[in-house]
Structure 1
Amino acid sequence: MTPVISVIIPVYNVEKFLAKCIDSLLYQTFPDFEIILVNDGSADSSGKICDEYAKKDERIIVIHKENAGVVAARNDGIKASAGRYITFIDSDDYATEDYLQTLLDGIKKHNADISTCNQFLEFQDGSHEELFKNKKKDYIVLSGMKSLSELLYGRICSGFCGCKLYKRELVEDIKVPHFVMGEDSAFVYEAFVKADKIAHAQKCCYYYVQHPASATHTTDYIKFYDYIKKSEYYYNFAKEKHPELVGGMSIKLIENCFYVYMKLRKSDQNYPEEMKHIEKLIHRHKLLSLFNLKAKFRTRAACGLSLGGLKLLCFIYDKFGNFEVFL
């Protein structure tokens, strides 16, 4: 029988985390699903772990391939899947037992194209923090464009592929520009633009695990420059096709500029051209962002400080903390 949901998990060098991820899915309260494990050329024992689980549970399908990156792995997973709905989970994260049921209820009850859920950030000491603390309703139902706008302002859901359930036909043909970093949010942007209605569950059903080996904790800081490329691409996309998103895209662009600028300052190598380009973008967008009342206070504060020059902003950053945002 065709499964209702396909769970696609790109796998790459996660032998320490993979079993916990898979185990969290095998005991879901909603049973009608398949798991597609796409081993993207792992150099550790991740591929072997995938095969061992496939022997134990017929719902698990394993694909072994040469390393080509998470986007290619995700696309291969979609092609191999059969479910009417598709969700993605990072192989170092894990889900609550009602993850699939909560997401499916959002689509079914509200006739939505996509459903999302809230999530916990899990830190190295084992502590957890809810990403969004809006508890007014079980589900917040918005149009796709309104959902994307709220996402850009950091109000409704995160910009990565996990903790979301998509109608299959919505994501089968999505093609995103190649970025080393930030490809997840590019995929989400494209999906949200295509969706008529999205249901956002306020319940936390996903654990986003923070650890030094994850991509967002790399010390190869120049990789973060792709966040700038992605943000510029979608800012221009909004200007051309969706002017109602320009304000939000401008905010996301300048947030990423602050984030990446501080990252590149830590690097042992010099990146004068990239730093100069970021400085120009900050200069271009800081006034618009400063007076955008929808933006986070810390973003507007950073814009205000940057009026006195980036040296002042860097001094405040070094002395009191940082302006890092959840990307």
Structure 2
Amino acid sequence: MKTPTIFSVLLAGAALFSTSSLSAAETDPIGYVTIDAPSGTNLISLPLQKSKIFQGAVTAVDGGTISAAFPDLGTDFMYVQVTESDNAEGEIATITSVGEGTVEVSPAISGLAVGDILCVRPHLTLSDVKASPEFTDGTSLVVFTSEGNRESFTYFSASTLGLPDGLWADSASEDASGVAILPGEGFVLSNNGPTTSLVVTGAVSTDSIKVPFGGTFSIAGTLNPSEGITMKQAFGDLPIGTTISVKSSDGNLTTTAGYEIFDSAVLGLGTGKTFVRDGTDNGDDDLVSANDALVIATPSGTDGVLLPAAYTSAE
């Protein structure tokens, strides 16, 4: 498995106060990870988010309009994440416009209520997917969106562009640097050159988060930079009947293990769910590599998976 390493924890447990608001946003533990990307095709998930720039209580909800004691959020490409709620925990939605004390989000968050707690974070984007040594021309990246659609991007190197940095371009050869990679969302990276390493800076998730699913299958990771999370801990929210395929990280995408979630009672194992590996073994406690993206096929109607927080202050 590819092994990410957190080289530096820069800040943890502090409180960042906005000068334009009495609201405070506790900063997550932050640092950076490196992810090996061998030549060939790899499934990758980024195990970090960007740091919170606001956290506070919802004061009003009207469809996609949310009111709270928002500070001046600026013009970054951002999303809201519901951190405490009876009916919308972990839900995320992209901010499409900002008003005085309000944001417009898409999609509207079903179940969000006054008094729920949410945070605001900038999106990780394709501009954050950088490598050392630099990707070669023709390296491609494919994202499967929450609607199940496929979006493809191609890398152009700095030397080819005559610019300080290379960039990802869409199918129309337009700059795609601002395209968002949702938290926990996996992608297919086809490295057209020698083995390289992705270097990603961000924050460790301190709240559970809902990764939306769509289409016949989805690609998702654990959103956890630790190697110590088990299959059941990470994906226990998935319904019975779900299948999960783990692929090799050598550039060949060989299937190394397959899981199916069963009703434990059917197997004579009491209540709850059991992750059966390769049709015979109990895989509940199998460890999931931090930056691997898994291929997940769920029963019809499954809208996503609630991933647990990677870190809490109680730990």
Q: TM-score, normalised by structure 1?
A: 0.28
Higher RCO (CA-CA < 8 Å; seq separation 6+): 2
Length-normalised TM-score, structure 2: 0.28
Q: Flag the structure with higher strand content.
A: 2
